[in-house]
Structure 1
Amino acid sequence: MSYTSETVDLAARRAERARARAARREGRGETLRIQYGEVFIAELAAEFPLDVLEPLQDLNVDLPLLISQALQLFSKTSDDTVSNEAALEFIVGVLATNPDLPKEIVSMVQEMARRLFGEDGYATFVATRPTPWDVADLATLLFSWYGVGLGESSPSTTPSPAGATSNTTSAPTSASTPAGRGDGLEKKAS
């Protein structure tokens, strides 16, 4: 008996995804160069490295309580906007139950940036003395670069031809299902 094996080259598959992503971005390139003026910070690959998320494991927060407080915040508003008073009450409540949270979040974000930019890139970035608005702008850019956003999803890899609706996979009724309770059942002879 002969045994054959299929080989999957993950590096080749990653390179192919990077090329496809670059094509979807209308030729923006396979890497994203981050710089501050003329100062180079880092060059990021087209795919998000998973190890960047590892610091999230160390975040010491009672997630169910946090979700509960967020739901309470949104239930206090009559429309889609959150009042400043309700938002401040939410923040104070979160900080009261998690007093170390600000320090933990800052440490977590710093470690994630180190992992994303590398030690030298992170040191260069910090040397630019970024503002909270710089960081928020960079985060928005990175979410866009990596194709992450609220309410977004990746397009289907196999779209229907010419935007046509796909066909159903089964008939709306089945011959094996009786029309009514006990009606139409065949009796088998023994």
Structure 2
Amino acid sequence: MIVKKKSAESYTVMNELVLPNDTNTLGNLMGGRLMYWMDICAGMAAQKHCNRIVVTASVDNVSFKQPIKLGDSVMIEGKVTRAFNTSVEVRLDVWAQNLPAGTKIKSNEAYFTFVALESNGQPVPVPELVPESEKEVALYDGALRRRQLRLILGGKMEPADAHELKALFMASQED
């Protein structure tokens, strides 16, 4: 039986309060602490999709767009954007909220990849993802190109074999 799941089924929200132990000398949240929280949130989203133990396989470029300050609430949203054979890609959006001021600013975004494992530690196939909205379809389509780039950078794929990634560049040259 082939199992298919929707992206919404993996949706996970995690909230943390930035305390003094979480900050650097400028009073900003340390990047390592944020990445730790992001890994937890992404892992929960991946587990919801796979119904398996998952391990982090890669983290794409984590963009730090806006500092998060001491006392801010951090809201991390994650959901699976595509399932491959034994792995899933999870997109995260990070928001900094100053609760007394009532502000909410997007601070970070990233893509994490997880591999689903059997109890013996061997990779296991994951359920197919069925995108529903236009945004989900765009993220789903882009995931294949992001995966090919990850594989090239990791030395696991030759650039000449990245057909979807090459097509993106060839299409832009035709314009």
Q: Does TM, normalized by the shorter one, top 0.5?
A: no
Q: Comparing both chains, which one has the higher relative contact order based on Cα–Cα distances under 8 Å and sequence gaps of 6 or more?
A: 2
Please tell me the TM-score bracket, short chain as reference: under 0.3
- Structure possessing the higher radius of gyration over alpha carbons: 1
Q: Report which of the two has the higher share of strand.
A: 2
